[in-house]
């Protein structure tokens, strides 16, 4: 952990990767009717020093809660853009977990319904506290 004087910069991260959900997001009516798989990766910047020293869950973020927030947004809401899905997830995570300083959300849309051969398209956003 780099320190300058009495101030230390803590850059600890929690990754919750490869979450997979079924949702109805897209600009085409077929996407909203048929739905499709979405994959998500989330990275949370949290000071984990107290959790590491105390072995106490209250000083970190419960991965199951992160999963549940992502699942609810992807599976229970409908948006045209995956950018909106990512924004809702980021804002919800920042609101729920006061320990999170910044979060990065990557939404992957496998086999998008666009001409050509694509394995997937993805967007990634990073949001933090002001």
For the stretch 7-25, pLDDT in tens is: 666 689 999 999 999 999 9
pLDDT per position as a tens digit, 87-102: 999 999 999 999 999 9
Would the pTM of this model clear 0.75, i.e. be above it? yes
Residues involved in catalysis: 109
Helix axis angle for 82-96 and 63-76, nearest 10°, is: 140
Query: What pairs with residue 38 in β-bridges?
Result: 21
Whether the Cβ atoms of residue 2 and residue 9 lie closer than 8 Å to each other: yes
Reported as a pLDDT band with limits 50, 70 and 90, residue 2 is low
Q: Measured at the alpha carbon of residue 124, what is the angle toward residues 122 and 126, in degrees to the nearest 5?
A: 170
pLDDT tens, residue by residue, 46-102? 999 999 999 999 999 999 999 999 999 999 999 999 999 999 999 999 999 999 999
For 81, residues 6+ apart whose C-beta sits below 8 A from its C-beta are: 25, 27
Q: Is-contact 86 32, C-beta < 8 A?
A: no
What domains does the chain contain, in order, with CATH numbers?
A: 13-128 (3.30.1130.10)
- Give long-range contacts, CB 8 A cutoff, 24+ apart: 109-117: 109/25, 109/36, 109/38, 109/82, 110/36, 110/37, 110/38, 110/39, 111/36, 113/26, 113/28, 113/30, 113/31
The closest of 98, 86, 104, 89 to 15, measured between CA atoms, is 104
Q: How many CB atoms lie within 10 A of CB 85?
A: 26
């Amino acid at each position: 952990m780099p320190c300058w004087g009495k101030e230390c910069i803590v850059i600890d991260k929690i990754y919750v990767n490869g979450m997979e959900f079924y949702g109805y997001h897209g600009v085409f009516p077929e996407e909203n009717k048929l739905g499709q798989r979405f994959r998500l990766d989330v990275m949370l910047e949290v000071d984990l020093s107290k959790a590491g020293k105390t072995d106490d869950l209250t000083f970190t973020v419960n991965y199951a809660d992160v999963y549940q927030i992502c699942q609810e947004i992807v599976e229970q809401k409908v948006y045209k853009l995956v950018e909106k899905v990512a924004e809702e997830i980021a804002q919800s995570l920042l609101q729920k977990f006061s320990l999170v300083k910044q979060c990065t959300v990557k939404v992957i849309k496998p086999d998008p319904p666009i001409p050509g051969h694509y394995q997937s398209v993805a967007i990634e956003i990073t949001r933090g506290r002001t």
